[in-house]
Structure 1
Amino acid sequence: MKPDTTSPIDTAGTQWVEGELVRSLMRTQRNTQLLGLMLIPVFIGVLWTDAPRAALLLWAAATAIMAAARFRVIRRYGREVSGSGAAEHLDFLRRYGFIWPLSAVCWGLTTVLFFDRSPLSDQFVCWLIMAGLAMFSINGLSSHLPTMRRYLDTLALTALAVMAWRMGVELGGHGPGYHGWMVLLLVTFWQVLRQAGLRLHETHRKNYELQYSNRQLIESLTRQTQAALDAVEIKNRFLASAAHDIRQPVHALGLYADWLGSEPELVHDIAPKIVESTKAVNALFDSLFDLVRLDSGKIRLKIEELRLDKLLHDLELQYRPLADAKGLQFRVHAVPGTVTSDPILLQRIVGNLISNAVKYTDRGGVLVAARMTRSGPRIEIWDTGVGIAPSYQKEIFREFYKVPSHAGTEEGFGLGLYIVGRLCNILGHPLQLQSKPGRGTVFRLLVYPTDPRGAAERATASTVNIKATPMPILSEPVEADPVSASSPAGEPALQRGLSY
């Protein structure tokens, strides 16, 4: 026997399948009802001369009323539920499922009219009609197993109850011998129909489960195809950006070299320009190398305790010359204390934030401050730069994104904050952002202690889903005075530019 290779479906899939089974059940009900209405005059014709006519007409009226009630339920389904979801279908059947057992009671009561009260030939015809109705109900109701079972059980038990009353009470157990065989035949036929209905239901269910699995597979393939197309688009955008961004400093290097070769006496003027162009190229390649290490999963973590003040002063030595070259104030306010993190990655995070602050600030200055709060150490990078509009504050953490309205965005790949976001996610350091266009920006890094195992797991997960980069949380309003009143001279002017 061939093994079943169908994978199990989830809870949502199970609900969808149940809803489709109800939908399939309701699609067959109109034809089933028409057949039931056609059988009413057949019964009347067969038993017209055998059964009491008042009882026969009463049965016909009750059965017709029940058929009309089922038609009304079918119309309500088509008007209110047919286009709805699985939950609505299941709720509809819970509310109106009683209509099928009531209909079975009406048909089961026909045995009162013909069992042991009409000629055997007429009884045989009536039993054939009842058997055909029961078999037809399997095709119509097997989509929803509980409904089919309630209908069959009610039909069989009603008929058996009438037969038991006739044989045991009215005849006192002295009826013909074939009565017992008829009861046995009815019970056997009832159980056979239940098993047949179960098998047919399982076929329906497997078909819908296969449809759901195929739909999920198609959706997964669609998502993967879209992801591949997005990757191609990102690659094309990256290649275009890389070609443009690297070409500029490299072209400048070539021009400066030619200029220096033709006019060596200008070495003091040209050499600083060559140095700046070289730094620009190095910065571009650094961001590329960071991205490659993150995406390849080759990033290595070394979690240890490090001094916060030393970290900031090391960064001051690196970035103060950049600020001085633009005529910006550069202040560092560091408090003693230690944090648990990866020193290289933490330095990369804060360094990228400082670099951005210097890059997008043309007047005023940059303040790098560390403070101890009730929730732990916090590093803040304040600037009086161009600021970031609210519509861009989530976008800036996307890969290769550059704010269109920012001057100077032609430099770089748009990877700095993307890398910052991913490193913050790996180290477990939440990043908060608040900014006003034209007034400046504040990044606040909450340096919670890094758990080595959790960081390793997040680093691995980030290579699987590179779009899981956390967005900064817009926190409570930024305080107007981020450092103590004993800050160096010149800092109050910077703070005034950053007040919100």
Structure 2
Amino acid sequence: MAPGVPLDEREEFIRRSLVNRYMRESLGQVPLGLLLCIVMASLCLRVIPMEHVMPWITVVAACYILRHLAETNYVRHLQDAPTAVQRGFVRDIRPVYLVLAIGLGSSVLLFFDRLGDISEFACWSILAGMMYVPTPRLALLPALGRVYTTAFFASALCGMLLVAWQHPSPTSHTAVWFIPLAILQWALTNRMTREMHRTQREHYGLVFDLAAQKREAVEAVQTKNRFLAAATHDIRQPAVALAIYAEYLEAYPDMHLELAPKIHRASRAVNGLFDSLFDLSKFDSGEVQLAVGPTRIAEVIAALVSTADPLAREKGIELRVRVVDALLQTDAARLQRMIGNVLANAIKYSHPGTKILLATRMRAGCVRVEVWDQGIGIPADQIQNVFAEFYRVDAATRLAPDGMGIGLSLVTRLAAALNTRLTIASVEGRGTRVSMEIRDVDPDLAKCRIALDCG
């Protein structure tokens, strides 16, 4: 099965495909079946009175016509209907197949041991065709197949026994010995039908998986295209700014005090963007190698605050920090990047005059890092989407139009690599809380000698 595909969706596709294929193929076979029944009736009319043949052909023809009308309606209107509706249709049409199978099987009452050898052989051949030709199609829908084959064999055998009992003859008594053979044929037909059905299910399962893989491949290409377009756009802005500042600095050297901070910010933006892009590409290619070692969470937070606090102050945001120290066995640089991306997101999508809290605390042997903000928040129906690449809520786009929307996507990859449980809660218009529960706590530190039961 294709990865990431819900089982119910795959099963629904298989069932829908089996029903649709059966109805399309069966619709074309109805006229042929009706024609063969007319041929059989004409053979019987040479010996059997019309008042015996006409009721039989009337019932069989009526069943064929009802079946044709029902299947035509399905092909025209129900091929795209929900699976439950299609299953209901199959259930409703089952009595028609039951009566048709009984009618076809009971035809032995007309010709068995009553026609000449050639005519009777022709009738037996037609009857065998009525049984075995539809078998591959009936295998698509076992619910109809079981009804049809069981009623057909049962009515044919009952008809043979009735003829042998009412009109005993050497031929009829000899034919009775074929009854065990017919029962064996019925059992083999049912088994063959089950095997065909299993094969067809596997076939349509593969069709679904290939289609799903194709969709994933197309989506991957589209994602890469969006990635390149977004990256080119976002890199171009600070790069152009750097070029302009360099030209100004070359033309007006005395403006270096004014231009230096701008050059620094533009360079920092380019470096941050490149770092994110490189990390994202390494995660996608599976080339990430962690440099795990003893890491104090307080030192990581301190390094983050030293760079984030000026950005927050520049935007008029108060950054508060509450730290409980703990020793971790992790990749310090990537841990800092994971927390830093969350913190940068909080600063980027918060209004001036609000507060952000960066806090760490111990919980059940784990270190929980939390970032609380009073920003724009995320609508409840979009919370899961913010972890997708390039996804940004509308309000975020308006507040920070220059973002790429890869920050939290990278955070999820870092969290998985760093054995961290990531959760997010938000109220639109009021703020967001992102929690990172880090499990790789060094048990040698006294504060962390607790069983790791937070998984």
Corresponding residue to 1:434 among 416, 423, 426: 426
Contact 1:399 1:414 in 2 (8 A): yes
Shift in Å, 1:309: 3.5
Say which is worse superposed, 15-24 or 198-207, in terms of deviation.
Answer: 198-207
Tell me the amino acid that sits aligned with residue 421 of structure 1. Answer: T
Measure, in 1, the Cα distance between the counterparts of 2:421 and 2:187. 62
Q: Given residue 319 of structure 1, which amino acid in structure 2 is its aligned partner?
A: A
The alpha-carbon distance between structure 1 residues 37 and 304, as it changes in their structure 2 partners (threshold 3 A), is farther
1:350 aligns with 2:350: no
Is 1:369 matched with 2:370? no
The answer to whether the 8 Å contact 1:143/1:204 transfers is no
Shift of 1:332: 1.2
Shift of 1:107: 0.7
1:445 is the counterpart of 2:438: no
Once the two structures are superposed, the pairs formed by residues 135-154 of structure 1 within 5 Å of their partners are 135-140=129-134, 142-145=136-139, 146=145, 149-150=149-150, 153-154=153-154
Q: How does 1:168-247 map to 2 (within 5 A)?
A: 175-176=169-170, 213=206, 217=210, 220-221=213-214, 223-247=216-240
CA drift of 1:75 comes to 3.3
Deviation at 1:98, TM superposition (A): 2.2
Matches within 5 A, 1:395-474: 396-400=386-390, 403-407=396-400, 409-410=401-402, 413-426=404-417, 427-437=419-429, 441-450=431-440
Distance in structure 2 (CA, Å) of the matches to 1:38 and 1:406: 80
- One-letter amino acid of the counterpart of residue 123, structure 2: I
Q: Could you tell me which of 218, 237, 241 is aligned with 1:248?
A: 241
Identity among equivalent pairs (%): 21
Instruction: For 2:30, give the aligned amino acid.
Output: Q
- The CA deviation at 1:405 is 0.8
Residues 381, 428 of structure 1: alpha-carbon distance in 2 compared, 3 angstrom cutoff? closer
Which digits, 9 at most, give the CA deviation of each residue in 1:37-65, with x for residues without a partner? 554354234234xxxxxxx7256425523
Residue type matched to 1:379 in 2?
V
From the superposition, tell whether residues 197 and 27 of structure 1 become closer, same or farther in structure 2 (CA, over 3 Å). Answer: farther
Structure showing greater Rg: 1
User: Which among 253, 256, 259 is matched to residue 252 of structure 2?
Assistant: 259
The amino acid of 1:347's aligned partner reads Q
Whether contact under 8 Å (1:109, 1:159) holds in the other structure is yes
> Contact 1:313 / 1:332 at 8 angstroms: preserved in 2?
no
Sort the Cα spacing of 1:97 and 1:339 in 2 relative to 1 into closer, same or farther, 3 A: farther
Per the TM alignment, residue 132 of structure 1 is displaced from its structure 2 partner at its CA by 2.5
1:66: how far off?
5.0
Distance in 1, Cα, partners of 2:425 & 2:200: 52
Equivalent in the alignment of 2:371: 381
Counterpart of 2:447 in structure 1 is none
Shift, 1:134, TM fit: 2.8
In structure 2, what residue type is equivalent to 1:160?
A: M
Query: Cα gap change, 1:231/1:292 in structure 2, threshold over 3 Å: closer, same or farther?
Result: closer
Q: Look up the match of 1:311.
A: 300
Q: Gaps (5+ residues) in structure 2?
A: 1-9, 140-144, 442-455
Contact persistence 1:335–1:370 (CA under 8 A): yes
TM-score in terms of structure 1 length: 0.65
**Residue in structure 1 matching 2:69, options 61, 67, 75:** 75
286 and 230 in structure 1: CA distance in 2 versus 1, 3 angstrom threshold:
closer
After TM superposition, give the deviation of residue 190 of structure 1 in Å.
Answer: 9.8
Amino acid in structure 2 at the alignment position of 1:406: L
Q: Secondary structure at the match of 2:368?
A: strand
Which range moved further: 358-367 or 191-200?
A: 191-200
- Distance in 1 between the 2:21 and 2:184 partners? 23
CA pair 284-259 structure 1, distance change in 2 beyond 3 A: farther
C-alpha contact 1:370 1:380 (8 A) present in aligned 2: yes
Q: Which amino acid aligns with 2:19?
A: G
Shift of 1:373: 5.3
Match of 2:100 in 1: 100
> Deviations for 1:107-162, whole angstroms, at most 9, x for unmatched residues?
12225xx63xx6xx646424433433333443345521545643653364235314
- Structure 1, unmatched stretches of 5+, are 1-9, 49-55, 452-500
What amino acid does structure 1 have at the position aligned with 2:234?
S
Tell me which residue corresponds to 1:491: none
CA distance in 2, matches of 1:179, 1:359: 93
Q: In the TM superposition, what is the alpha-carbon distance from 1:449 to its structure 2 partner? A: 1.4
Counterpart CA distance in 1 for 2:344 and 2:16 is 52
